[in-house]
Amino acid sequence: MAHPSMLGFQDAASPVMEELIHFHDHALMIVIMVSTLVFYMIVTTVSTQLTNKYIIDSQEIEVVWTILPAGILILIALPSLNILYLMDEIDDPHLTIKAVGHQWYWSYEYTDYEDLGFDAYMVPTQDLLPGQFRLLETDHRVVVPMETPIRVMVSAEDVLHSWAVPALGVKLDAVPGRLNQTAFITGRPGLFYGQCSEICGANHSFMPIVVEAVPLKHFEDWSSLMLEDA
């Protein structure tokens, strides 16, 4: 969960988010090295005899500043392609959840069960319980079993929305008439908060998402209780 004055990402709760954080750190180190090298060359050029035209017009330097950026792009591209394929991998999901965006709330269907579904609205500020977060808490949470492959299919009823949970490394557009899908695995129990990340109208900022990861036994108890109440 993010907190005031926080720098960086939230703690990763899925393997994909861990890889995204590692890639961010990898790319940031490259950016720092490139920025340092360019700054050094600028300072050196304006303050020493490197301004000599024979140095600036050197064929060797032109070869270096052509090959070096190409090598840097390869160092960035290879790990990013690996993560892209990892994020698109949906291999034998154990549970499928359909999330549909509306103005301005989410509705969910657990497609492996016949009658398990609900709408999730933001809890008004005056109804919040101690410990709950303003503008982030919902009246129904998306309960999932931890350490289990979960597939999420996302669509929208009216306008463009986006189903995003930063700690899980998930951000998927909800497009009317189209069904997009992604997958995630929660590596630990907990509550993971997100919001609609598409400007979808006046109440865009009031479409929170709460994913609750629990042990499998607790999920079975919850799903049985929800089916009895349906």
| Predicted pLDDT at 212 | 95
Residue 95: in which H helix or E strand, if any? strand 95-102
Length of the chain: 230
CB 223 within 8 A of CB 116: yes
At 85, is the pLDDT very low, low, confident or very high (cuts 50, 70, 90)? Answer: confident
For residue 214, which of 204, 206, 225, 205 has the smallest C-alpha distance? 225
Q: For residue 10, give both structure tokens.
A: 């939230």
Note the pLDDT tens digit of each residue in 93-113: 899 999 999 999 999 999 999
Look up the pTM and report it. 0.84
Note the pLDDT tens digit of each residue in 48-73: 665 555 555 667 778 888 898 899 99
At 145, is the pLDDT very low, low, confident or very high (cuts 50, 70, 90)? Answer: very high
Return the CATH fold of 95-229: Immunoglobulin-like (2.60.40)
The letter for the amino acid at 61 is: I
The domain locations on the chain are 15-88, 95-229
Note the pLDDT tens digit of each residue in 188-216: 999 999 999 999 888 888 999 999 999 99
Q: Strand 161-165: give its sheet, edge to edge.
A: 142-145, 208-214, 190-196, 161-165, 170-174
3-class secondary structure, 182: strand
| Predicted pLDDT at 229 | 78
Note the pLDDT tens digit of each residue in 156-181: 999 999 999 999 999 999 999 999 99
| Predicted pLDDT at 90 | 78
